[in-house]
Amino acid sequence: MNNPLLQPWDVAFDLPPFPAIADSDFAPAFEAAMEEARTRIGEIAETPEPPSFANTIEALELADEKLGRVLSVFHTLAGSVSNSEREALMREFSPKLAAYSSEITGNKALFRRIDALWQDREGLGLSDEQERVLMLTRRGFVRAGAELEGEADARHREVKQRLAVLGTQFTQNLLADERDWAMELTEDDLEGLPGFVVATARAAGQERGKEGPVVTLSRSLIVPFLQFSPRRDLRKRAYEAWAARGANGGETDNREIAAEILKLREERAKLLGYDSFAAYKLETEMAGTPEAVMNLLMAVWNPARTTALSDAEVLTGMMRADGINGDLEPWDWRYYSEKRRKAEHDLDEAELKPYLQLDRMIEAAFACANRLFGLEFKPLDVPLHHPDARAWNVTRDGRHMAVFIGDYFARGSKRSGAWCSAMRSQRKLGEETRPVVLNICNFAKPSEGEPALLSYDDARTLFHEFGHALHQMLSDVTYESISGTSVARDFVELPSQLFEHWLEVPEVLAEFATHAETGAPMPGDLLERLLKAQTYDMGFQTVEYVASALVDLAFHDGAAPADPMARQAEVLEALGMPAAIGMRHATPHFAHVFSGDGYSSGYYSYMWSEVMDADAFAAFEEAGGAFDAETAKRLEEFILSAGGSQEAEALYTAFRGRMPGVEALLKGRGLLDAA
């Protein structure tokens, strides 16, 4: 078959030959690779040889290698350079992949071999890593329904396929709403906006084929517009469009989809013997139970709400001074908060932004990785999935460690948010493989010839996603199934959130935060003001996040709500949600929870990891500084290189000597006094 997806790749580091790949190549490659994987798995299940770790578990690890190659290319393109053909293929592939997964985990002969190995594990002479992989493999089969029989088995397969269809539909509806909405601005509408917002709006207009500037639903544009536009009517229009994603009626409305997803998840959990989907999902996480999650979130919610309500009174007073007598609304908060930040901290986003150039922030992330872990980054001239993407060869002491790809700018064909993925994961089994890691963001693209400038939040996002990338690049395990970020969901955010702390290290900003026009370093007083304001508006930020996490938990802990929007409203009312703050992710655009099972019942994970990241960075400070070599060595050995080779709590305890309490998180967010 003369299909570039199925042929050996002759690009450097075995990267995909993107220019040679047509959308029409995916379906036949997908079918051929899946059939090859089915054949290999059938051979594993039916071999007359007694089960061994090598002929069963290791053989399974390698069985669908070609299918993984095809899907890694497809998902990279479908997520970051979507088009109608790729969206149609995603709708076609999702249920087929769910059926394929069910076919494997429902293979009774295969499961008998795995179970026999587990029962006889003490006599197999396995290494700790091998026993861990065996346990995880068996547990994964059981949790995927391997022990179900008859009607329950058949229904479970149907539910999984339907969930795959609905998750894809949810994602595509959200992308359509974000892609199709834009608010055109006149020259008068630009009054009061700083130059970088105007430039971003003009560039967005060009990208949309408009003659003038526009506001889109890209976070990197709409948030600064809400921060700086003095036009309350335009802020309201923009905010309401942003909040209404997935809830605009018609074909792209996600509300009924969310209700069906929740109902099917509950049914799936009951089929597998659990009281609720949250109980099923959290069983394998660090938190363990819905009660543990609730305890953490409420320990943070109460001081955050108290702080936010106090802040709301101040902002309302500022609004009154402007002659506005109505209530403080969600489209007012960022505008008045920005004015307050300027007044109280003498910190202006427009003054700050020229010092946060994208290229310099990338250099800063690389430099920190070099000082901590000895990694070096050299640009690569290779074909990639989009002209805006760029690649680096990552080495240490001359040894190739990874290929790192960055795709940083927003575009209509890219789904919103920021994420890290691996087109190829690290492993030693068979031929040793080093990873190919992508960071994909949605920063505002500048006009031609202008430097790309980031907000401080953007810069933090860049460091966050690069922390995930380090988890992949430094992985050093034998089996791909436990490499890199293949860890508990409420542990996976530790490396990413921990790496954010290096952006706050004064010497890092002093070296890399240089002015886009003059090249001068950030003035010392501006740097000092920036660092002092790190916990500014933390009540707002914490409330909007924790509200989303609590709604997610409520959806999955107990009976599925017939009307998720009504249940969302009930939860927020019971919490006393401040009226001027919206959830960070309302149900119809809560992609973390409804695009797939990844963060369902697990949106709390960022905060669970934050308890650890604050404590982990304190380990560096206690050892004498952010770049303490011995602490960095322990971080790599016990966390970044270890993948899922041990339970998350054991890995963290090996690094730190103990587990932390919530106080470190509250202190880091400046909420300790309100607790």
Active site amino acids: 465
Contact 511, 276 (CB under 8 A): no
DSSP strand pairing (399-409 vs 436-443): parallel
Residues whose CB falls within 8 Å of the CB of residue 181, separated by 6 or more in sequence, listed in order? 216, 217, 241
Residue-wise DSSP of 478-522:
S-GGGSTT-S-HHHHHHHHHHHHGGGG-HHHHHHH-B-TTT-PBP
CA–CA separation, 172 and 628 (whole Å)? 45
Residue 376: CA atoms inside 13 Å, Cβ hemisphere, count? 7
CA–CA separation, 53 and 330 (whole Å)? 57
Classify 141 as helix, strand or coil. helix
The one-letter amino acid code at 479 reads Y
CA distances from 212 to 207, 220, 360 (A): 11, 18, 30
Q: Which two tokens stand for residue 464?
A: 């966050």
Q: Which two tokens stand for residue 556?
A: 């999955």
Residue 48, class by beta-carbon neighbours within 10 Å (0-12 exposed, 13-18 middle, 19+ buried)?
Answer: exposed
Residue with the two structure tokens 């199709």: 180
Q: Which two tokens stand for residue 42?
A: 């059938």
Question: What secondary structure letter does DSSP report for 561?
Answer: P
CA–CA separation, 152 and 168 (whole Å)? 25
Question: What secondary structure letter does DSSP report for 563?
Answer: S
Residue with the two structure tokens 């669908």: 64
Question: What secondary structure letter does DSSP report for 446?
Answer: P
Residues whose CB falls within 8 Å of the CB of residue 467, separated by 6 or more in sequence, listed in order? 495, 496, 497, 498, 499, 500
CA–CA separation, 275 and 659 (whole Å)? 29
Residue with the two structure tokens 């886009």: 516
Residue-wise DSSP of 106-121:
T-HHHHHHHHHHHHTG
CA–CA separation, 488 and 499 (whole Å)? 18
Helix (H), strand (E) counts: the chain: 27, 7
Per-residue burial over 571-594, b if 16 or more Cβ lie within 10 Å, else e, is bbeebebbebbbbbbbbbbbbbbb
Contact 477, 233 (CB under 8 A): no
Residue 583: CA atoms inside 13 Å, Cβ hemisphere, count? 25
Cβ count within 10 A of residue 533: 16
